[in-house]
Amino acid sequence: MDVFPRKLWARLAARVARSLSFHNYARQDAAGSRRLRDAIAGYLQIARGVECDGEQVFITAGYQGALGLIARVLIRNGEQVWVEDPGYFATRAALKWAQAKRVAIPVDGEGLNVEAGMRKAPAARLAIVTPTHQFPTGVTLTISRRLSLLQWAAASRAWVIEDDYDGEFHYRGRPLPALKSLDRQDRVLYCGTFSKVLFPGLRMGYVVVPPQLSDEFASACVCLQPAGGMLEQAVVCDFIEQGHFARHIGRMRQLYAERRAALVTAIERWCADSLHVDVQAGGMHLLTYLARGVEASTLQKRASAKGVAFMPLSQAAIEASMKPGLLLGFANVPVNGADSAARRLQEVVAATFLEDQ
């Protein structure tokens, strides 16, 4: 967020605000601005291999808003939904409000264990997955698992929700195209967000639905109005159409690679006895394992007093037994701040280890 091009953003926003027409002041398209929906469809084809028409794209308040919309349209009370275990806590919370029955499906070295899902809940209505970069393990769903997930969905008339939250940030080679790009039977709803590629406070994302669901989603949008205001949609659209988006992603990928390398080096220097870094190919956080299990909340409280924040790995688990570990975001840690952050983390972990003896 410290290097976001704020001046450029402010200039685009001012221009948009000045150029609003009478028409813009009236009602907006409930599915989101058509120009933005088309721009997203164009971007997805090039960047993620997803072929879709703007008609299939619905603007939402981030991934969380997309999931809320999907739940309202597709989930009926008590229906089963596969979720990854370990997985994203906010997905589980959204399912609770949708009164869905969450079924924890284990994740292994190949991603979601589809066979386990078929054994545990063969008739589930939905499966929610992070195939590019599983949250929090960083594993990529293998091709054979992708194909069996799609086969299961087609055979059982289930839907697959692809949460592609950080697919743009990959540091070794090119990431696999989205799962949606293999979806010949039209069973995948693809969710993208601007939280990672622009900034989370924007609260903007989108869902691409299969063509046979477009009308139903369009009607639901009239009632639920998930797209938010048109001013910010127009700014995002100009940002994409004028080429700033592609440039910004390229610049951030480079910067994050540097910040990631700096934090890995700093942790290896300061925390070698207490933390082991499992370096992943992509993402915006480091997966680290603690040498010993400690009370995560004590560690978190202590760290926070020193200005260090992380997420205990255990918070991502439902039934899975996880090695004790911490997720460390590196995107907002400048290269010259990595050493001090790692040193403070080491002090906190060492003190907690000592106390626990």
Rg (C-alpha) for the chain, rounded Å, is: 21
Q: H or E segment at 122?
A: none
Interaction between residue 205 and ligand PLP (CB under 6 A) = yes
Cβ closest to ligand PLP, residue 88 vs residue 217: 88
Separation CA 299–CA 305 (nearest Å):
10
Residues 25-44 contacting ligand PLP, CB under 6 A: none
Handedness of CA 65, 67, 71, 73 (dihedral sign): positive
Which residues are CB-contacts of 208 (< 8 A; sequence separation ≥ 6)? 40, 41, 44, 50, 52, 56, 57, 58, 180, 189, 190, 191, 192
Residues 171-200 contacting ligand PLP, CB under 6 A: 193, 195, 200
Work out how close the CB of 346 gets to ligand PLP at its nearest, in angstroms, rounded to a whole number.
Answer: 26
Residues 87-106 contacting ligand PLP, CB under 6 A: 88
Work out how close the CB of 65 gets to ligand PLP at its nearest, in angstroms, rounded to a whole number.
Answer: 7
Number of residues in contact with ligand PLP under rule CB under 6 A? 12
Interaction between residue 135 and ligand PLP (CB under 6 A) = yes
Which residues are CB-contacts of 147 (< 8 A; sequence separation ≥ 6)? 182
Interaction between residue 62 and ligand PLP (CB under 6 A) = yes
Interaction between residue 63 and ligand PLP (CB under 6 A) = yes
Separation CA 355–CA 357 (nearest Å):
6
Handedness of CA 43, 45, 50, 55 (dihedral sign): positive
Work out how close the CB of 247 gets to ligand PLP at its nearest, in angstroms, rounded to a whole number.
Answer: 22
Interaction between residue 346 and ligand PLP (CB under 6 A) = no
Q: How many CA atoms lie within 13 A of 132 on its CB side?
A: 28
Work out how close the CB of 315 gets to ligand PLP at its nearest, in angstroms, rounded to a whole number.
Answer: 12
Neighbours of 169 (CB within 10 A): 22
Cβ closest to ligand PLP, residue 206 vs residue 270: 206
Interaction between residue 130 and ligand PLP (CB under 6 A) = yes
User: Helix, strand, coil: what percent of the chain each, to 5?
Assistant: 50, 15, 35
- Return the range that interacts with ligand PLP (CB under 6 A); candidates 27-35, 58-66, 101-109, 143-151: 58-66
Interaction between residue 233 and ligand PLP (CB under 6 A) = no
Work out how close the CB of 331 gets to ligand PLP at its nearest, in angstroms, rounded to a whole number.
Answer: 11
Cβ closest to ligand PLP, residue 220 vs residue 327: 327
Cβ closest to ligand PLP, residue 60 vs residue 274: 60
Cβ closest to ligand PLP, residue 297 vs residue 315: 315
Neighbours of 137 (CB within 10 A): 22
- Return the range that interacts with ligand PLP (CB under 6 A); candidates 6-14, 43-51, 59-67, 154-162: 59-67
Report the residue closest to ligand PLP, judged by CB.
62
Cβ closest to ligand PLP, residue 81 vs residue 271: 81
Q: Are the C-beta atoms of 226 and 68 separated by less than 8 Å?
A: yes
Interaction between residue 140 and ligand PLP (CB under 6 A) = no
Q: Which residues of 72-93 are buried (b: 16+ CB within 10 A; e: fewer)?
A: ebbbeeebbbbbbbbbbeebbe
**Cα-based distances in Å from 211 to 51, 67, 88, 151, 222:** 11, 18, 27, 19, 18
For helices 230-241 and 34-48, give the axis angle rounded to 10 degrees.
Answer: 40
Interaction between residue 64 and ligand PLP (CB under 6 A) = yes
Interaction between residue 282 and ligand PLP (CB under 6 A) = no
Determine which residue in the list 79, 85, 162, 163 makes contact with ligand PLP, applying CB under 6 A.
Answer: 163
- Return the range that interacts with ligand PLP (CB under 6 A); candidates 61-69, 111-119, 154-162, 341-349: 61-69
Give the footprint of ligand PLP on this chain (CB under 6 A): 62-64, 88, 130, 135, 163, 165, 193, 195, 200, 205
